[in-house]
């Protein structure tokens, strides 16, 4: 059914693997669990995206097309045509400086996500809520919990929810599907939700899971019901990108190594750093690499610190005021 729905966008055909084949593909998968034993698995293929990078790419694409893009901004009120009560703009507050100003447009779009009801009330104080907010908890585990390029989905748990475990940016993300929640600016996971995820994956893995983990929350997801009007939009960084693009970075850019005598000498960019840049910044990775090389900050030896250096010096190019952004 999954392959049928995918149609011409199908990545690869789904197939069944025996218990032995499953253990070879997913070494941390337990052969025996509580009152059950591994009989086999069904492997299917799905796409993966970095939503934060897509958002930044969309903003940069809009800016190049002439749009005025402002982050850390808040709509405090809507401006209306006195005669027809038609919305013609908004009063904006810059939350970094506190400055307020008016902006006008022929069309005003409410793209507030889980906060769109509060925007609707700015237009009509009697508007009835139409959003049912939900949140899902994700916990970050070491990379060895899942093999590269392959995840695990438990389709039915003791409370009926789905639990998944997927490789993500050099780590493994384990999480569960959404449950009802209240809307907050900074949602936080509850300990019982974290423990629930760990309890489920313990039953299916042959490695220990620890209670102390880094927790990340994705909240307020809304599923679109209409056909996308931007399906052919070429995003900055994504347009023209190729999976082998990291080889260009590894061959053309160097990082500075500092030998024991104190003199810095050029060294090759390692494959892990090149892949990280390529997957995170797309075709814009060359610009980020150039900034790093120009500033001579690639003197660190560990991959993790190399990534941090690229990230810190990538901020001016993507118009982000702080690392938290």
| pLDDT tens profile 168-179 | 888 888 888 777
Provide the CATH number for the domain formed by 2-47+134-219 in this structure: 3.30.9.10
**How do residues 284-304 score in pLDDT, each as one tens digit?**
888 887 777 666 555 333 344
Q: Which two tokens stand for residue 124?
A: 């009509």
Kindly list the domain boundaries of the chain, sorted by start residue: 2-47+134-219, 51-123, 245-318
Taking a C-beta distance cutoff of 8 angstroms, is the pair 57, 50 a contact?
A: no
Beta bridge partners of 78: 90
pLDDT: which is higher, 207 or 256: 207
DSSP structure class, residue 293: H
Poorest-pLDDT segment among 6-15, 230-239, 280-289, 298-307: 298-307
Q: Compute the mean pLDDT over every residue in the chain, rounded to the nearest whole number.
A: 77
Whether 251 contacts 266, CB under 8 Å:
no
Bigger pLDDT: 231 vs 30: 30
The alpha helices in 74-228, defined as continuous H runs, are: 116-123, 191-202
pLDDT (0 to 100) of residue 301? 37
**Structure confidence at residue 75 (pLDDT):** 92
How far does CA 115 lie from the centroid of its chain?
20
Is a pLDDT exceeding 60 seen at residue 322?
A: no
* pLDDT 10s digits, 86-134: 899 999 999 999 999 999 999 999 988 888 899 999 988 888 988 888 8
In the chain, what percentage of residues exceed pLDDT 90? 10
Work out the number of other CB atoms within 10 angstroms of the CB of residue 48.
10
pLDDT at 203 over 70: yes
Residue 42 has pLDDT above 80, yes or no: yes
Residues 51-65: pLDDT tens digits? Answer: 888 888 888 899 999
Q: What angle do CA 10, 12, 16 make, to 5 degrees?
A: 125
The structure's pTM equals 0.59
26 and 151 in contact (C-beta within 8 Å)?
no
Confirm if 298 and 270 have CB atoms less than 8 A apart. Answer: no
Does 305 have pLDDT greater than 50? Answer: no
Whether the per-residue pLDDT at 198 is higher than 50: the answer is: yes
Sorting pLDDT into bands at 50, 70 and 90, what band is 191?
confident
Q: What is the pLDDT of residue 208?
A: 64
Q: Evaluate if residue 195 carries a pLDDT over 50.
A: yes
Six token digits for residue 272: 């892990």
Strands 163-168 and 100-104: unpaired
Radius of gyration (Cα) for the chain, nearest Å? Answer: 24
Burial label, 73 (beta-carbon count in 10 A; 0-12, 13-18, 19+): middle
> What is the pLDDT at residue 280?
83
Token pair belonging to 160: 């009926």
Residue 212 has pLDDT above 60, yes or no: no
Q: What is the pLDDT of residue 296?
A: 59
Q: What's the pLDDT band for 256 if we cut at 50, 70, 90? A: low
220 with 135: CB under 8 angstroms? yes
Q: What are the distances in angstroms from CA 279 to CA 56, 224, 314?
A: 14, 26, 14
Higher pLDDT, 135 or 307: 135
């Amino acid at each position: 059914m999954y392959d049928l729905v995918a149609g011409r966008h199908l990545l690869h055909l789904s197939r069944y693997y025996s218990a032995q084949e499953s253990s070879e593909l997913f070494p941390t998968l337990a052969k025996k669990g509580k009152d059950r034993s591994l009989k086999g698995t069904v492997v299917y293929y799905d796409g993966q995206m970095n939503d934060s990078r897509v958002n930044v790419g969309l903003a940069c694409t809009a800016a190049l097309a002439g749009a005025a893009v402002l982050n850390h901004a808040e709509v405090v009120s809507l401006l209306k045509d006195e005669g027809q009560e038609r919305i013609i703009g908004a009063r904006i507050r810059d939350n970094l400086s506190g400055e307020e100003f008016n902006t006008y447009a022929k069309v005003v779009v409410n793209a507030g996500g889980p906060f769109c009801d509060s925007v609707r009330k700015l237009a009509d104080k009697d508007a009835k809520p139409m959003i049912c907010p939900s949140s899902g908890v994700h916990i970050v585990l070491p990379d060895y919990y899942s093999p590269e390029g392959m995840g695990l989905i438990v389709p039915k748990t003791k409370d009926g929810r789905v639990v998944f475990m997927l490789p993500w940016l050099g780590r493994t993300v384990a999480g569960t599907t959404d449950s009802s929640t209240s809307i907050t600016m900074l949602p936080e996971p509850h300990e019982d939700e974290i423990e629930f995820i760990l309890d489920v994956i313990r039953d299916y893995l042959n490695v220990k899971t620890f209670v102390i983990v880094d927790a990340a929350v994705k909240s307020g997801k809304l599923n679109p019901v209409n056909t996308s009007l931007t399906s052919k939009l070429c995003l900055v960084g994504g347009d023209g990108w190729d999976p082998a693009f990291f080889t260009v970075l590894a061959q053309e850019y160097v990082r500075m190594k500092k030998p024991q005598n104190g003199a810095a000498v050029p060294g090759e960019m390692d494959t892990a750093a090149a892949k990280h840049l390529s997957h995170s910044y797309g075709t814009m990775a060359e610009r980020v690499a150039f900034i790093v090389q120009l500033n001579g900050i690639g003197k660190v030896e560990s991959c993790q610190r190399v990534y941090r250096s690229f990230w810190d010096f990538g901020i001016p190019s993507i118009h982000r005021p702080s690392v938290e952004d």
